[in-house]
Amino acid sequence: MYEPYPVPELASEHKKFRYSSLWTFAKQDLRLLAFFLLIASLIGFGIGYFWIFIGIAFAVFFLLQLRSLYLVNDWISNRPYDVPPNLNGIWGALLFNVYRAQRQERIVQAEMVGLIDRAQSSLVALAEAVVLIDEMHQIEWWNPAAQQLLGFQELDRGRNILTILRQPSFIEYFNNLNMAPDGLKMKSSVLEDHYVQVKLTRFGGESRLLVAYDVTRMHNLEQMRKDFVDNISHELRTPLTVLSGYIETFTDQEDLNPRWKRAFDQMQAQTRRMNALVNDLLLLSRLENEKKIAKNQIIEMPSLMNQLYDDAHAYNVDYGHTLNLEIDSHCDLIGSDIELASAFSNLITNAIKYTPKGGTVTIGWHDDGEQGCFTVQDTGIGIDPKHLPRLTERFYRVDSARSRQTGGTGLGLAIVKHVLMQHQAYLEIESKENQGSLFKVIFPKERLYRVS
């Protein structure tokens, strides 16, 4: 593991060294000066020119200091990386300190360069494409995998990333990273029939790190699963229609033996359930395949809400709940009317189904000027919060037996999620066991149409 160089300790060690040694080295100079003065005073005294010899001693000492200064300057200016000249006294101490600091700095530098080299070579070895993009959206660096997966070439250095990866979905994702926290799957522009998952992360302000990897295998498996479900649902449709036709004919016969009648009623209920399942599977698969943005019809919300309210009354006959309708918005919705109506009605039938008889279900439409909110609140059995994150998965049921009993297919909320995704809307669920549930569908401002 890399251990950072102990720079702070080094600095304090330096400080200590400088103060203790400076005096030691200054003493050498003082001793030399004292020696010169002693010799000069002896000679000067002996021959009667005391002050002249004292002056000569100071001059010699001064010349020696000038020589040292010259050598220090010469080393710093011309040969800073060579071993410094061997000097005594205070100049020696100075040279030693400079040389030492310089060496430590070179060690730290070498370690940093080594670390950068190691980080870079590990990025080079990665099978995932890694690309560094600066604040101006220009490509700074990429690894060889990016060359293979995304087709970058040496000439692309410094080019705007959006002029190389030009798919509209990528441009939209690049300009709005929060739109897809898991990244974006897109067709490779280099390898035919290949798909790459691209993930962008912001760092150091506006710079971005792009990581991409090949997800062709996963994509193909997912496509196989979709095709399989699609085909099997289509294949089941005809036999089911034939079966339910015959069963209906038999059930309608008045002289039917009561024992057989019970059996035919059960067969009819089960074929209805299978029909609902097949229809939901086909709808889900259609929604998944049509990843496109939903249509831009203007949906008159007061009329849709009243329609939903009337349908809810029809469904509510066996349950006897109190139904409320609250409209507190002058906004209509922009989207696909059939799909939104089916998503909303899924939420309403769930609220009615999962509320014990005599409860209250309230359907609402509000906006706060920024977002539009369709709500369905019930006083029903509620949901343990641990189930909430998985609730929109297909076939996920909190209580399978109960769901089957109420005729549920386990696909309702999965369909709701897909319809909402096509409208850039999302579902929020607040619920506690035995304390009812609140399902909120939140639409962005762009999906609202203000009625003047």
CB of 173 to ligand ADP, least distance (A): 29
What are the distances in angstroms from CA 100 to CA 9, 96, 134, 215? 14, 6, 37, 54
CB of 339 to ligand ADP, least distance (A): 16
Query: Which residues share a beta bridge with 328?
Result: 366
CB of 316 to ligand ADP, least distance (A): 14
C-alpha 228 chain-centroid distance:
32
Distance CA 391, CA 384 (A): 11
- The residues, ordered by sequence, that sit 6+ positions from 315 with a Cβ below 8 Å of its Cβ are 348, 349, 352
Distance CA 224, CA 202 (A): 35
Distance CA 30, CA 195 (A): 79
CB of 125 to ligand ADP, least distance (A): 45
Asked if residue 301 lies in contact with residue 331, where contact means CB atoms within 8 angstroms, the answer is yes
C-beta of 89 vs 436, nearer to ligand ADP: 436
C-beta of 369 vs 407, nearer to ligand ADP: 407
CB of 345 to ligand ADP, least distance (A): 11
Asked if residue 95 lies in contact with residue 87, where contact means CB atoms within 8 angstroms, the answer is yes
- The residues, ordered by sequence, that sit 6+ positions from 16 with a Cβ below 8 Å of its Cβ are none
C-beta of 329 vs 409, nearer to ligand ADP: 409
Consecutive H or E run containing 228: helix 216-252
C-beta of 161 vs 414, nearer to ligand ADP: 414
C-beta of 44 vs 380, nearer to ligand ADP: 380
C-beta of 68 vs 431, nearer to ligand ADP: 431
Asked if residue 277 lies in contact with residue 285, where contact means CB atoms within 8 angstroms, the answer is no
CB of 255 to ligand ADP, least distance (A): 37
Per-residue tokens: 98: 């400079």
CB of 313 to ligand ADP, least distance (A): 18
What are the distances in angstroms from CA 272 to CA 82, 175, 245, 265, 267? 92, 47, 11, 11, 9
C-beta of 133 vs 381, nearer to ligand ADP: 381
Which of left, alpha, beta for 326 (phi over 0: left; psi -120 to 50: alpha)? beta
Distance CA 331, CA 368 (A): 10
CB of 373 to ligand ADP, least distance (A): 17
CB of 442 to ligand ADP, least distance (A): 17
C-beta of 87 vs 383, nearer to ligand ADP: 383
Phi, psi of 410 (to 5 degrees): 80, 10
C-beta of 25 vs 354, nearer to ligand ADP: 354
Helices (H) and strands (E) in the chain, counts: 11, 13
Strands 322-328 and 360-367: parallel
C-beta of 363 vs 383, nearer to ligand ADP: 383
Angle between helices 412-422 and 258-289 (to 10 degrees): 30
CB of 218 to ligand ADP, least distance (A): 25
Q: Which stretches of the chain bind ligand ADP, using CB under 6 A?
A: 350-351, 354, 378, 380-383, 391, 396-399, 403, 408-414, 437
Asked if residue 383 lies in contact with residue 433, where contact means CB atoms within 8 angstroms, the answer is yes
Strands 195-203 and 139-142: unpaired
